[in-house]
Amino acid sequence: MRGWFVGWLQLATNVRYVVVLIEPPSSMTMEQAVEVRMAIARKVLLKK
């Protein structure tokens, strides 16, 4: 799958949405793509 993935993390009482554009390799499974998406979302949120 390719395209836009929307990931979110709930921090305290605030819910922030992060949209990350990733293009996983064709060998990557959907589960792996979700893990990568969430890892990127965490890194982005932790920088704020």
pLDDT at 24: 61
Residue 33 near residue 6, CB atoms below 8 Å: no
List the pLDDT tens digit at each of the 48 positions of the chain.
Answer: 444 445 444 544 454 544 455 566 677 787 887 787 778 777 777 775
Using alpha carbons, select from 26, 15, 21 the residue that is nearest to residue 40: 21
- For the entire predicted model, the pTM comes to 0.42
